[in-house]
Structure 1
Amino acid sequence: MLVLDSSFFIEDRSLEGDEDALSLPGVRDELEDASRFRFDATVGQGMRLETPSDEAVREVRGAARETGDASVLSGTDIRLVALACDEDATLVTDDYAMQNVASRLGVGSRGIGKKRIDEERDWRYQCAGCGRVYDEKKRCGVCGSETTRKNPS
């Protein structure tokens, strides 16, 4: 079973053989022009549109906070990872933050146009002014500067 993100349709891919696929209506909203038509055609070929459980969404949000990816994931991204959790499916996306959170949760993923991530990362946010490190994106509590996402390793 595959859970398909917008990159699947943007990269002009199609399901192979008897692959079962799921996605969300919100993915269609992220697409334009030909990729939106490919999404509609894939629904016509048997891809089902599902909604993840509230419990899985909460679990994904928690994992995204742990990895430092929460500020870069959209609601649709979170629900796609949650759907892959619910269905014990492989997440198909080129979004590295989604792959990172999926990895934290033990969910398999694969890329489309890009290589899959090699390792899981725990992102932190560093103040551009004084260098203080935070677990989440916010203004620095010391000097008030913006924070930027950094890999601590």
Structure 2
Amino acid sequence: MRVLDASAFIKEYNTTGRTATVPRVREELTAESGYRFDALEGSGMHVHVPDATAIEHVERTARDTGDLDELSETDVRLLAATLELDGTLVTDDYAMQNVAEKLSIGIDSIDQEGITEERDWEFQCVGCGRVYDDDPERCPICGSECTRKRP
């Protein structure tokens, strides 16, 4: 089963076989891409609402990889739905792809190449240079902003 991100509807991804998505994707679409969503739903696309346990699992994993702040609520729910449905995620979003790799979820990209390696991120204070595993947003030592970087 292919689980479709909003970009699949926007870029008219060629869907064959069984498809699914989450309700929040519809909210992200414009009129034209919304019609595609409606047509696929009318022809049998499954609109899945993931349970809280799956959502929490995805959030923990995204926090571990350092991608949580890059993901929207819709992105987290798409990953959780893909996990529950044992599907393949269809997206061009690199943060989603990185978390999907960590969760052993299959990925199909639409226009982009797709990720070539799984990454964990660190967060570095722009003021004092201290490095943190989790994103504190502001450095607890000097109060400066922290930015995401590769270890």
TM range, normalised to the smaller chain?
over 0.9
TM-score (norm 1): 0.93
> CA shift at 1:14, angstroms?
3.2
CA contact (8 A) 1:71 1:137 kept: no
Over 6 Å off, 4+ runs: none
Residue-by-residue CA offset, 1:56-75 (whole Å, 9 max, x unaligned)? 11110110010000111111
Q: 1:48 corresponds to which residue? A: 46
Q: Which runs of 5+ in 2 are unaligned?
A: none
Query: Which one of 36, 39, 44 corresponds to residue 38 of structure 1?
Result: 36
Q: Bigger shift: 95-104 or 36-45?
A: 36-45
Percent of counterpart pairs with the same letter? 51
CA contact (8 A) 1:91 1:109 kept: yes
Q: Which runs of 5+ in 1 are unaligned?
A: none
Aligned length: 150
Q: What is the identity, as a one-letter code, of the residue corresponding to 1:48?
A: H
Name the SS of the counterpart of 1:79 in structure 2.
Answer: helix
Name the SS of the counterpart of 2:137 in structure 1.
Answer: coil
Q: 2:148 corresponds to which residue? A: 149
Quote the Cα distance in structure 1 between the aligned partners of 2:31 and 2:131: 41
Quote the Cα distance in structure 1 between the aligned partners of 2:25 and 2:51: 17
**What is the Cα-based RMSD across aligned positions, in Å?**
1.1
Residues 69-148 of structure 1: matches in 2 within 5 Å?
Answer: 69-134=67-132, 135-148=134-147
> CA shift at 1:34, angstroms?
1.4
Q: What is the identity, as a one-letter code, of the residue corresponding to 2:88?
A: T
Q: Bigger shift: 77-86 or 124-133?
A: 124-133
Residues 14-25 of structure 1: matches in 2 within 5 Å?
Answer: 14-16=14-16, 19-25=17-23
Distance 1:122 1:27, change over 3 A: same
Name the SS of the counterpart of 2:112 in structure 1.
Answer: coil
Name the SS of the counterpart of 1:139 in structure 2.
Answer: coil
> CA shift at 1:33, angstroms?
2.7
> CA shift at 1:93, angstroms?
0.5
